[in-house]
Amino acid sequence: MSIIGALVVARRVDSWVTAVIDTGLDRAFLLALRGVDSFERRDRALGWQGPLTLVVRLTAWMGMLVVGFGLLMLPGTDGDFGAALEDAGSSIFTLGFAVPHSGGGQFVAYVAGFAGMVVIGLQIGYLPTVYTSFNRRETEVSLLVARAGAPAWGPEILLRTHWGTGSSDSGPVLDELFVRWERWTAEVAESHTTYVGLLRLRSPKPNSHWLTSLIAVMDAAALHLALAPDAEPRIAARLMLRMGFETLNDMAQAMKLPVPDLAQASVDSTPISVTFDEFARAAASLRSVGYPVTETDEDAWPHFAGWRVNYDRAALALCRELDAPPSMWTGPRRWPSQPTAPQRPNPGRSRTQK
| DSSP-assigned states of every residue in 91-150 | HHTT--SS---SHHHHHHHHHHHHHHHHHHHHHHHHHHHHHHHHHHHHHHHHHHHHHHTT
User: What is the spatial distance between Cα 268 and Cα 305, in angstroms, rounded to a whole number?
Assistant: 10
The listed range with the strongest mean pLDDT (75-84, 146-155, 235-244, 267-276) is: 235-244
User: What is the spatial distance between Cα 254 and Cα 177, in angstroms, rounded to a whole number?
Assistant: 27
Mean pLDDT of 221-243: 94
Write out pLDDT tens, residues 274-331. 999 999 999 999 999 889 999 999 999 999 999 999 999 999 999 999 999 999 999 9
Q: What is the pLDDT of residue 350?
A: 46
- What dihedral do alpha carbons 35, 40, 42, 43 form, nearest 10°? 170
pLDDT at residue 84 greater than cutoff 50: yes
* DSSP per-residue letters across 184-230: HHHHHHHHHHHSGGGGGPPPSSTT--HHHHHHHHHHHHHHHHHH-TT
Q: What is the pLDDT of residue 12?
A: 77
Question: pLDDT band at 90, cuts 50/70/90?
Answer: confident
pLDDT at residue 89 greater than cutoff 90: no
Write out pLDDT tens, residues 99-146. 665 556 678 888 888 888 888 888 888 888 888 889 999 999 999 998
pLDDT at residue 208 greater than cutoff 80: yes
Rg of the chain in Å (alpha carbons): 25
> Which alpha helices (H) appear in 209-343, and where do they start and end?
210-227, 235-254, 276-288, 297-308, 312-322
Residue 340, classed as helix, strand or coil, is strand
The neighbouring-strand residues paired with 327 are 340
User: What is the spatial distance between Cα 239 and Cα 243, in angstroms, rounded to a whole number?
Assistant: 6
Of residues 210, 220, 241, the one with CA closest to residue 140: 210
Residue 327, classed as helix, strand or coil, is strand
Q: Where in the chain is the domain with CATH 1.10.287?
A: 2-124
User: What is the spatial distance between Cα 288 and Cα 158, in angstroms, rounded to a whole number?
Assistant: 12
Write out pLDDT tens, residues 235-261. 999 999 999 999 999 999 888 888 766
User: What is the spatial distance between Cα 226 and Cα 238, in angstroms, rounded to a whole number?
Assistant: 11
Q: What is the CATH architecture assignment of 2-124?
A: Orthogonal Bundle (1.10)
CA distances from 131 to 15, 195, 237, 340 (A): 22, 11, 29, 29
Where b means 16+ CB within 10 Å and e means fewer, 102-121 reads eeebeebbeebbebbeebbe
Residue 82 CB contacts under 8 Å (≥ 6 apart), including other chains: none
Q: What is the pLDDT of residue 96?
A: 65
User: What is the spatial distance between Cα 259 and Cα 314, in angstroms, rounded to a whole number?
Assistant: 6
